[in-house]
Amino acid sequence: MDLLLQLLASGVVTGGIYALVAVGFVIVYKATGVINFATGELMMLGAFFAYTAMTAARAPFALALLLAVLAAAGLGALVERVVLRPLLGQRAISVIMVTIGLSSIFKGLAQMIWSGEYRSFPPIFPRAPLVLGPVILPARQVWPFAIALLAILVVGLGFRFTRTGTAMRATADDQQAAYAMGIDIRRVFSLSWSLAAVTAAVAGVVVGTIGGISPQLGAIGLRMFPVVILGGLDSIPGALLGGVAIGVLENLAGGYLDPLLEGGGVKEVVPFAALVAILMIRPYGLFGTREVERL
Amino acid sequence: MLIGNYQETYRSDEALLRTPAVRGWMAALLALALLFPFVAGDYLLYLANLMGVLAIAALGLNILTGFTGQISLGHAAFMGVGGFGAAFLASRLSLPFWLAVPAGGAMACLAGVVVGVPSLRIKGLYLAIATLAAQVIAEWVFVNWTSATGGIRGLNVPPARLLGLSLDTDFKVYFLVQAAAAAHVWFAANLLRTRWGRAFVAVRDRDIAAELIGVPLFRTKILSFMVSSWYAGIAGGLWAYFVKVVTPENFPLSLSIQLLAMVIVGGLGSIKGTLFGAAFMTLVPEALKLLVGALRAVWPGAQAYLFPMRDVVFGALIVAFLIFEPHGLAEVWNRIKRFFALWPFEK
Fill in the amino acid letter for B224: S
Given a contact cutoff of 8 angstroms between Cβ atoms, the answer to whether A166 and A9 are in contact is no
Question: Exposed, middle or buried: residue B41 (CB in 10 Å: 0-12, 13-18, 19+)?
Answer: exposed
Given a contact cutoff of 8 angstroms between Cβ atoms, the answer to whether B288 and B347 are in contact is no
Cβ–Cβ below 8 Å for A112 and B136: no
Query: Is residue A130 classed as helix, strand or coil in its secondary structure?
Result: strand
Task: Give the nearest partner residue to A279 out of B130, B140, B307, using CB atoms.
Answer: B130
Residue of B nearest to A94 (CA): B322
Residue of A nearest to B66 (CA): A93
pLDDT tens over chain B, length 347 residues: 566 777 888 888 788 887 888 888 889 999 998 888 888 888 899 999 999 999 999 999 999 999 999 999 999 999 999 999 999 998 888 888 888 999 999 999 999 999 888 877 787 888 888 999 999 999 999 988 878 777 778 788 777 777 767 777 778 888 889 999 999 999 999 998 899 999 999 999 988 899 899 999 989 999 999 999 999 999 999 999 888 888 888 899 999 999 999 999 999 989 999 999 999 999 998 898 888 888 877 877 777 788 888 899 999 999 999 999 999 999 999 999 888 877 777 65
- What are the φ and ψ backbone dihedral angles of A156, each rounded to 5 degrees? -60, -45
Residue of A nearest to B142 (CA): A263
**For residue B346, what pLDDT is reported?**
67
**For residue B242, what pLDDT is reported?**
84
Task: Give the nearest partner residue to B71 out of A92, A105, A295, using CB atoms.
Answer: A92
- Per-residue burial over B73-98, b if 16 or more Cβ lie within 10 Å, else e, is bbbbbbbbbbbbbbbbbbbeeeeebe
Task: Give the nearest partner residue to B316 out of A105, A110, A229, using CB atoms.
Answer: A105
Q: What is the mean pLDDT of residues A68-90?
A: 92
Can you tell me the distance from the alpha carbon of A151 to that of A147, in angstroms, rounded to the nearest whole number?
Answer: 6
Question: A293 to chain B: which residues are within 8 Å by CB?
Answer: 208
**For residue A171, what pLDDT is reported?**
87
Given a contact cutoff of 8 angstroms between Cβ atoms, the answer to whether B268 and B162 are in contact is no
pLDDT tens sequence across A144-179: 888 888 988 998 888 889 998 899 888 888 888 998
Question: B317 to chain A: which residues are within 8 Å by CB?
Answer: 101
ipTM of this complex prediction, to 2 decimal places: 0.89
Cβ–Cβ below 8 Å for A295 and B307: no
Q: What is the mean pLDDT of residues A247-260?
A: 84
Given a contact cutoff of 8 angstroms between Cβ atoms, the answer to whether A199 and A210 are in contact is no
Cβ–Cβ below 8 Å for B122 and A112: no
**For residue A262, what pLDDT is reported?**
65
- What are the φ and ψ backbone dihedral angles of B112, each rounded to 5 degrees? -60, -40
In this model, does residue A139 exceed pLDDT 60?
A: yes
Tell me the CB-side half-sphere exposure of residue A144, using CA atoms within 13 A.
30
Cβ–Cβ below 8 Å for B71 and A273: no
Residue of A nearest to B210 (CA): A295
Task: Give the nearest partner residue to B309 out of A108, A226, A233, using CB atoms.
Answer: A108
Question: Cβ of B290: how many Cβ atoms within 10 Å?
Answer: 10
